């Protein structure tokens, strides 16, 4: 058992006559009391705009905001706080990278971007938009028959034209852990100027990440999938790259000096943070990361792996359920297809029994097309889930399937 479930007030909710079993953590996690309290504390005691006030509260909020940045930098093992750009989430982070690359001189017609077949729409569409602007080509990296990353196909796809590789650390639709370190190594071997963006939306809450050891160029994640509020997130970028690339959004904070004859930009990371940021949210994101660190990512991972394996063998025992992806080397989620049963029907019956799961394409329509399916039912775990909940979800799944087939 990890953190006490009482840390998370919402977990005591009832769904009709049933206790809530929340297994939709890959969509968003619940928030612990320390995070909720930190947000209330911020607005009750600190609230003020940052970086510009001469007054006490402004100094306090600026100090806490920049302290939060330092916490994020330490959490990701970034080389410097200048590499930490606060965003509103993964989607915003990837779009920021795509926009500044489009404005840079790094792309020209015929260049190529490689993206995994299991990428989230937010890690596909911004690259399609970039390709449209610069005349580049987006190429999907296929999967192996086991639905894992096809390293051989990837090595064949890498070429002198490859400018960028975009990969989710853990697929939100399959749960597969991609061999990110090897992917990055191969990209850098291909060319030092082949950039790699790692989508950490599904990994950050589950495994320790060291962006320097990985050797990627960009790493993005959403706060709301790491026990922090929605509307928070981080783009980590290699400092030399962020320094070289142009800004995107223009406005307050991101400038040094503005005049009608020309404007100079602020230092990193402020160059990429135009306007008033989500000050309270960013401060609280740091509180969430501290909570995760206190629980220990290794302990969280071990606990969640135990739940995932229990769910995996339980689903196998029910029979007639196709669990997508390999049994081992997966994140804390399971995506299933039941022949003859629509995922939405299964999800609806589970909901009536108090079990919250996700059904549908999980923002991975190209993957669904690749698999020739319309969607899956996804069970995803967080540090507060229990073996008893897994057993309940299994019993309810069996009951629902008995009604549906």
Ligand X SMILES: *Cc1c(COP(=O)(O)O)cnc(C)c1O
Task: Rule CB under 6 A: say whether 122 interacts with ligand X.
Answer: yes
* Pairwise CA distance, residues 104 & 100, whole Å: 6
Task: Rule CB under 6 A: say whether 202 interacts with ligand X.
Answer: yes
* Pairwise CA distance, residues 74 & 25, whole Å: 24
Contact 15, 354 (CB under 8 A): yes
Residue whose CB is less far from ligand X, 325 or 354: 325
Spell out, one character per residue from 144 to 173, where the chain touches ligand X: x when CB under 6 A holds, - when not: ------------------------x---x-
* Pairwise CA distance, residues 195 & 9, whole Å: 42
Specify the stretch interacting with ligand X by CB under 6 A; choose among 31-39, 55-63, 65-73, 198-206: 198-206
Across-strand partners of 219?
198, 236
Residue whose CB is less far from ligand X, 30 or 190: 30
CB of 87 to ligand X, least distance (A): 9
Task: Rule CB under 6 A: say whether 229 interacts with ligand X.
Answer: no
Residue whose CB is less far from ligand X, 332 or 394: 332
Task: Rule CB under 6 A: say whether 178 interacts with ligand X.
Answer: no
Task: Report DSSP letters for 87-127, one per residue.
Answer: ESSHHHHHHHHHHHHHHSSS--TT-EEEEETT--GGGTHHH
User: Residue 101 CA to chain centroid, in angstroms?
Assistant: 21
Task: Rule CB under 6 A: say whether 91 interacts with ligand X.
Answer: yes
Task: Rule CB under 6 A: say whether 271 interacts with ligand X.
Answer: no
In 189-307 the beta strands, taken as DSSP E runs, fall at 195-199, 218-222, 233-237, 255-259, 262-265
CB of 376 to ligand X, least distance (A): 14
Residue whose CB is less far from ligand X, 167 or 268: 167
Please select the residue that binds ligand X; options are 29, 38, 89, 376, rule is CB under 6 A: 89
Q: Which of 131, 216, 363, 396 is catalytic?
A: 363
Spatial CB neighbours of 90, under 8 Å, sequence gap ≥ 6 = 120, 122, 123, 199, 200, 201, 220, 221, 222, 233
Task: Rule CB under 6 A: say whether 199 interacts with ligand X.
Answer: yes
Query: For this structure, is 131 an active site residue?
Result: no
Task: Rule CB under 6 A: say whether 335 interacts with ligand X.
Answer: no
* Pairwise CA distance, residues 223 & 228, whole Å: 5
User: Which DSSP category does 10 fall into?
Assistant: G
Task: Rule CB under 6 A: say whether 124 interacts with ligand X.
Answer: no
Element (H, E) at 82: none
Contact residues: ligand X, CB under 6 A? 89-91, 120, 122-123, 168, 172, 199, 201-202, 222, 224
Catalytic center residues: 363
């Amino acid at each position: 058992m990890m953190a006490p479930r009482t840390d998370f007030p919402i977990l005591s909710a009832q769904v009709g006559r049933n206790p809530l079993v929340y297994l939709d953590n890959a969509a968003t996690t619940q928030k612990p009391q320390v995070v909720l309290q930190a947000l209330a504390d911020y607005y009750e005691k600190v609230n003020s705009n940052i970086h510009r006030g001469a007054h006490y509260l402004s100094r306090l909020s600026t100090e806490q905001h920049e302290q939060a940045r330092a916490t994020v930098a330490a959490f990701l093992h970034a080389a410097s706080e200048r590499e930490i750009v606060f965003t509103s989430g993964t989607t915003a982070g990837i779009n920021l990278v795509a926009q500044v690359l489009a404005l840079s001189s790094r792309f020209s017609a015929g260049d190529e971007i490689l993206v995994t077949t299991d990428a989230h729409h937010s890690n596909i569409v911004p690259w399609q938009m970039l390709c449209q602007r610069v005349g580049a080509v987006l190429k999907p990296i296929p999967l192996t028959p086991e639905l894992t990353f096809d390293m051989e196909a990837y090595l064949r796809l890498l070429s002198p034209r490859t400018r960028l590789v975009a990969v989710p650390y853990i697929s939100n639709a399959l749960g597969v852990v991609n061999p990110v370190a090897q992917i990055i190594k191969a990209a850098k071997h291909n060319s030092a100027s082949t950039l790699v963006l790692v989508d950490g939306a599904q990994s950050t809450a589950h495994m320790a990440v060291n962006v320097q050891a990985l050797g990627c160029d960009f790493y993005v994640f959403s706060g709301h999938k790491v026990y922090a509020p929605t509307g928070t997130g981080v783009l980590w970028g290699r400092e030399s790259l962020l320094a070289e690339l142009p800004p995107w959004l223009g406005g307050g904070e991101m400038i040094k000096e503005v005049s009608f004859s020309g404007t100079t930009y602020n230092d990193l990371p402020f160059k990429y943070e135009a306007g008033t940021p989500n000050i309270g949210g960013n401060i609280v994101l740091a509180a969430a990361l501290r909570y995760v660190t206190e629980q220990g990512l290794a302990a969280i991972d071990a606990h969640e792996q135990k739940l995932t394996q229990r769910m995996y063998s339980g689903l196998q025992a029910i029979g007639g359920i196709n669990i997508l992806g390999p049994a081992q080397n997966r994140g804390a989620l399971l995506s299933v297809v039941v022949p003859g049963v629509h995922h939405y029907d299964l999800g609806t019956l589970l909901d009536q029994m108090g079990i919250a799961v996700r059904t549908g394409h999980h923002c991975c329509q190209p993957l669904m097309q690749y698999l020739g399916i319309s969607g899956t039912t996804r069970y995803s775990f967080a540090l507060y889930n229990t073996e008893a909940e897994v057993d309940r979800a299994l019993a309810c799944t069996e009951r629902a399937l008995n009604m549906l087939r």
